[in-house]
A and B are shown apart, each in its own frame.
Chain A
């Protein structure tokens, strides 16, 4: 059956479907705006300006950093056919770990900055790593365990920031402001765009390299294509699962650390998960179809949708939720394509009667 699906994939030029998904999403958005009495061109213009105009680009780049990292956190295990839906928990644990280190370790910036980033990565990796033995020993699918572990992890950070780590005298559940030594240096003339972007881009370059030019990257692809073939070749699927999940959790945790080490330099309850970086990252990874090199492009697209919809709300009075709707439409179209391929395959299989 996989042969038939492969044939279908061959038939549709690889780039056409993702592009089509985006076009469909934009058309749906245009219809929604038209129905609401807004000129779609003005609406999209407001959306693009909301993200990319001189006054907004600074904040948009910070969001891009987070979305790019989260897309990587989904894309890495997806390469071997495992789906990490626990980005929120990993992001939050990474953020809180970095905040704790920054608040309690008196050290100069040169030491504190890398230590905080590493702490964040470890926090996210620790959570994600739990899903590996759950999958390879206990048979709990990664897609389920990551999702189920995410909510309690987020809740734990909520508790920490409300009680043991709460800033005294503040009504908002947040930590105190991190010391100056833990502030990521920002680019001249900006307040949000900082070294975090450089860190994430370096991590992405590393991921692209590992994927295409190392034995481990090759083994991950082999395990994703056929587990039986991987086992036959002597590859250790449990180890690869653990490796990809640790890497994914580390990137998500790193994103959390970068967020708390940027303006306003605190861990604020909900501030990491509310903007929907995880979801936008998953959408970007799905749109990139597992090719890490395309992630910057797709992450940029979803950044515009996420950040720009606020501008759209302000300028043309279209609710900002439209941005999320568009993301959902893209995912839906991509999913429909997989379903359509499955349906064709099923019809053929029913015709010949199941499989062993």
Chain B
């Protein structure tokens, strides 16, 4: 793996032989039939969307293609030849690459070091930094991926880190690239530049499989669509000849009824009042420089902006996960200074964090235990001295049913849930607090359109019952669907405060673009 263009290493194949093909793939997890006899043909130089509801089997299918999971039945073909995949290493050798939703980079290494990892240029085991950086620059230039090869990865925003992941796969000569929900954590600008890269790769002969929940992305960036439903293919479509409605119909078996947002008059004393919040900037964080905001009962206040502009710091200061250098946070008029997370939650704050695996869930615990956190010291689950396992399971069963979480049972470990279903668990737990203030980051990340619509409805119901919501989202459409007011944050200050009526896609997009440097911030520190 030292030569950049070993085209000869691959068997020659006719132009019409598919670059990769899955035939009759079946994969079971215990009682769960995740994928059931699925065929998938990835034609050379095309972008192929794989869509479907949460738990439809998309990730499982892609893991089979990349050698991460062994199928119970079926075959993986590359250029018409059957592959024996014992691990991803075999898949990489066969010219496959995968970018996972949660990036796997070494934060303390530079971009170039990450890209060439395990295929370092150099002589006698001595790493040649200049050669590595030059290679990365070359490769990046060829595909229009804008990165600084000598930057440390942990100082980069998520969108740029993702480019590093893609470069890594390209550097290993991936000719078939799998992207599993690549846009879930990206801002609109980052999504646009990702798709530009994907198109340029396809034009140069790379084949791309793209897993996504966003129909708009399917229409914008792909050539073909395979829709999975409950582990089987429910439709094969050609993007140019289909419509959003047809795709959604195939995914969820019905049309969409977007949540209506009856905006009522907002009144009453603010539930949350943040005044002149200040946090020093640190390497990798923009800091917060005098942010003030209020959320009233029955109001959704959205925070828009490129990730890494201080939203995280504001949220963590409200929750008590971090103490600000200055300013105040008031809940129902009472200063929360000096209070820890437990006290603040006890006074009525619920929180859906963006970092689901690191903060929002414990993968090794059961679904029931994941749903109990924060409820475990109060009736009906328990008291200070007592916790009833039966009540924990009963409540979990009820919440799982209410939100339609797909799981083998409440005793199953959370790790066995698909990404979107894990997100529903977090939401179910936090909504169930019925706290006066709900802080949500990216509530529909990784959630399918049907469930996303359902989650929006749940949040609006919550607001209609008088709840106050502070919503951090990178999706303009989500902010528009939910928020009564939208603040735009840039470099730790609020640069725009818009009424819902004024916060049109154009205005918000412009505020964020205007707010952002042309390269959407690869020179600035990320989240």
Tell me the smallest distance from the CB of B164 to a CB of chain A, in Å. Answer: 10
Check B122 for interface membership: any CB of A closer than 8 A: no
Given contacts A222-B365, A351-B92, contact A234 B104 (CB under 8 A): no
Which A residues are in CB contact (< 8 Å) with B68?
348
Query: What is the chain B residue whose CB lies nearest that of A7?
Result: B415
> Which of A226, A232, A351 makes the CB contact (< 8 A) with B351?
A232
Question: Cβ of A2 and Cβ of B104 under 8 Å apart?
Answer: no
Question: Cβ of A356 and Cβ of B105 under 8 Å apart?
Answer: yes
Query: What is the chain B residue whose CB lies nearest that of A3?
Result: B415
> Which of B118, B341, B360 makes the CB contact (< 8 A) with A234?
B341
Question: Cβ of B104 and Cβ of A233 under 8 Å apart?
Answer: no
Which B residues are in CB contact (< 8 Å) with A348?
68, 87-88
Check B242 for interface membership: any CB of A closer than 8 A: no
Which A residues are in CB contact (< 8 Å) with B372?
218
Interface-lining segment among B195-203, B297-305, B382-390, B489-497: B382-390
Question: Cβ of B415 and Cβ of A350 under 8 Å apart?
Answer: no
Question: Cβ of A213 and Cβ of B389 under 8 Å apart?
Answer: yes
Check B114 for interface membership: any CB of A closer than 8 A: yes
Question: Cβ of A217 and Cβ of B387 under 8 Å apart?
Answer: yes
Check A212 for interface membership: any CB of B closer than 8 A: yes
A47 to B325, CA, bound (A): 67
Question: Cβ of A229 and Cβ of B153 under 8 Å apart?
Answer: no
Question: Cβ of A222 and Cβ of B369 under 8 Å apart?
Answer: yes
Tell me the smallest distance from the CB of A342 to a CB of chain B, in Å. Answer: 15
Question: Cβ of B341 and Cβ of A233 under 8 Å apart?
Answer: yes
Query: What is the chain A residue whose CB lies nearest that of B319?
Result: A232
Question: Cβ of B341 and Cβ of A231 under 8 Å apart?
Answer: yes
The B-contacting residues of A in range 305-356, CB under 8 angstroms, are 347-356
Check B127 for interface membership: any CB of A closer than 8 A: no
A232 to B430, CA, bound (A): 12
Which B residues are in CB contact (< 8 Å) with A138?
none
> Which of A219, A228, A234, A354 makes the CB contact (< 8 A) with B359?
A228
Question: Cβ of A222 and Cβ of B373 under 8 Å apart?
Answer: yes
A232 to B349, CA, bound (A): 12
Which A residues are in CB contact (< 8 Å) with B359?
228-229, 231-232
> Which of A212, A218, A229, A353 makes the CB contact (< 8 A) with B117?
A353
Given contacts A226-B362, A232-B360, contact A356 B106 (CB under 8 A): yes
Check A26 for interface membership: any CB of B closer than 8 A: no
Tell me the smallest distance from the CB of A6 to a CB of chain B, in Å. Answer: 4
Check B95 for interface membership: any CB of A closer than 8 A: no
A6 to B414, CA, bound (A): 9
The B-contacting residues of A in range 203-223, CB under 8 angstroms, are 212-215, 217-219, 221-222
Which A residues are in CB contact (< 8 Å) with B386?
213-215
Given contacts A3-B415, A6-B415, A228-B358, contact A354 B106 (CB under 8 A): yes
Check B89 for interface membership: any CB of A closer than 8 A: yes
Question: Cβ of A2 and Cβ of B377 under 8 Å apart?
Answer: no
A288 to B118, CA, bound (A): 40
> Which of A3, A225, A236, A353 makes the CB contact (< 8 A) with B342?
A236
A228 to B362, CA, bound (A): 9
Check B355 for interface membership: any CB of A closer than 8 A: yes
Which A residues are in CB contact (< 8 Å) with B342?
233-236
Question: Residues 315-348 of chain B: 1 if any A CB is under 8 Å from the residue's CB, otherwise 0?
Answer: 0000001000000000000000000111111100
Question: Cβ of B364 and Cβ of A6 under 8 Å apart?
Answer: yes
A226 to B382, CA, bound (A): 22
A2-B415, A355-B104 provided; 9 other pairs, C-beta below 8 A?
Answer: A6-B415, A10-B30, A213-B388, A213-B389, A214-B387, A222-B373, A229-B360, A348-B68, A354-B104
A contact set with B: CB distance below 8 Å: 2-3, 6-7, 9-10, 212-215, 217-219, 221-222, 225-226, 228-229, 231-236, 347-356
A sample of 24 cross-chain residue pairs with beta-carbon separation below 8 angstroms, ordered by A number, consists of: A2-B364, A10-B416, A215-B377, A215-B382, A215-B386, A218-B369, A218-B376, A221-B369, A225-B362, A225-B365, A226-B358, A226-B363, A232-B341, A232-B351, A233-B374, A234-B342, A236-B342, A348-B87, A350-B118, A352-B100, A353-B105, A355-B105, A355-B106, A356-B106
B contact set with A: CB distance below 8 Å: 30, 67-68, 87-89, 91-92, 98, 100, 103-107, 114, 117-118, 153-154, 168, 321, 340-346, 351, 353, 355, 357-365, 369, 372-374, 376-377, 382-389, 413, 415-416
5 tightest Cβ-Cβ pairs between the two chains A and B: A234-B342, A351-B88, A234-B341, A225-B362, A6-B415
